[in-house]
């Protein structure tokens, strides 16, 4: 294709990560910048560049990508509510139909992660990267074990649906 970046790689990164993407390339043609941005990059930086510019761009992209409430607080300061389930990040409390549910720290983080996009399917590896911060080198079955614990504590396994061969999604039992 002749472009300074792999459009497949950029598309794959965008699908798998929520992190901002800055393409750094020696190509300075408008078509290169437009294509990268259209394929999902958040910014495009042409070489050579100064470190101060790179740092400023990283900070700007991070500010733009952080979801915020109307009053300026980061989105992580709010609770997520799905049906009768409420998950509050600040107090680290989970309440189901008015009753507080006691979860371990990892169970809470896992449930909060799934609650970011109810109905979306998350792969086990994606969950491991997000909840275990890439620090987990064991089997992906640890996700299954934590899901089992959450299901038991929520009292209905339908809260977290297993998608065979893929991963899990948070839903509302109906």
pLDDT range class, residue 1, cuts 50, 70, 90: very low
Lowest mean pLDDT among 36-40, 63-67, 71-75, 103-107: 71-75
| Average confidence (pLDDT) over 48-58 | 86
In the chain, what percentage of residues exceed pLDDT 70? 79
pLDDT of the residue at 19: 74
pTM score: 0.57
User: Strands 22-25 and 43-46, how do they pair?
Assistant: parallel
Q: What's residue 5's pLDDT?
A: 57
Average pLDDT over residues 134-142: 68
Average pLDDT over residues 82-99: 91
Whether the Cβ atoms of residue 67 and residue 75 lie closer than 8 Å to each other: yes
Q: How confident is the model at residue 151 (pLDDT cuts 50, 70, 90)?
A: very high
Q: What is the pLDDT of residue 132?
A: 81
- The confidence score (pLDDT) of residue 55 equals 85
Hey, what CATH class is 7-65 in? Answer: alpha beta
> For residue 62, what pLDDT band results from cuts at 50, 70 and 90?
confident
Q: Residue ranges per domain, the chain?
A: 7-65, 104-174
* Degrees, nearest 5: CA angle 151-102-117: 55
Q: Does domain 104-174 have CATH number 3.30.70.360?
A: no
pLDDT at 32: 85
User: Are the beta carbons of 47 and 25 closer than 8 angstroms?
Assistant: yes
User: Could you tell me if 140 and 122 are in contact, meaning their C-beta atoms sit under 8 angstroms apart?
Assistant: no
**Residue ranges of the alpha helices (H) in the chain?**
7-16, 30-38, 51-65, 105-115, 124-131, 141-154
Mean pLDDT, the chain, whole residue set: 82
Beta-carbon contacts of 76 under 8 Å, excluding residues fewer than 6 positions away, are 89
- Regarding predicted confidence, which is higher, 66 or 81? 81
As a whole number of angstroms, the distance between CA 91 and CA 86 comes to: 11
């Amino acid at each position: 294709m002749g472009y300074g970046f792999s459009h497949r790689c950029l598309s794959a990164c965008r699908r798998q990560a929520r992190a901002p993407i800055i393409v750094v390339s020696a190509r300075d043609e408008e078509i290169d910048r437009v294509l990268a941005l259209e394929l999902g990059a958040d910014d495009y930086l042409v070489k050579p560049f100064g470190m101060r510019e790179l740092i400023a761009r990283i900070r700007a992209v991070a500010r733009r990508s952080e979801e915020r409430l109307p009053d300026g607080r980061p989105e992580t300061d709010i609770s997520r509510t799905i049906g009768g389930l409420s998950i509050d990040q600040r107090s680290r409390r989970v309440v189901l139909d008015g009753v507080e549910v006691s979860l371990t720290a990892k169970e809470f983080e896992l449930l909060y992660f799934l609650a970011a996009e109810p109905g979306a399917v998350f792969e086990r590896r994606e969950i491991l990267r997000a909840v275990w911060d890439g620090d987990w080198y064991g089997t992906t079955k640890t996700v299954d074990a934590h899901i089992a614990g959450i299901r038991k504590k929520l009292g209905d396994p339908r809260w977290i649906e297993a998608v065979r061969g893929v991963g899990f999604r948070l839903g509302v039992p109906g």
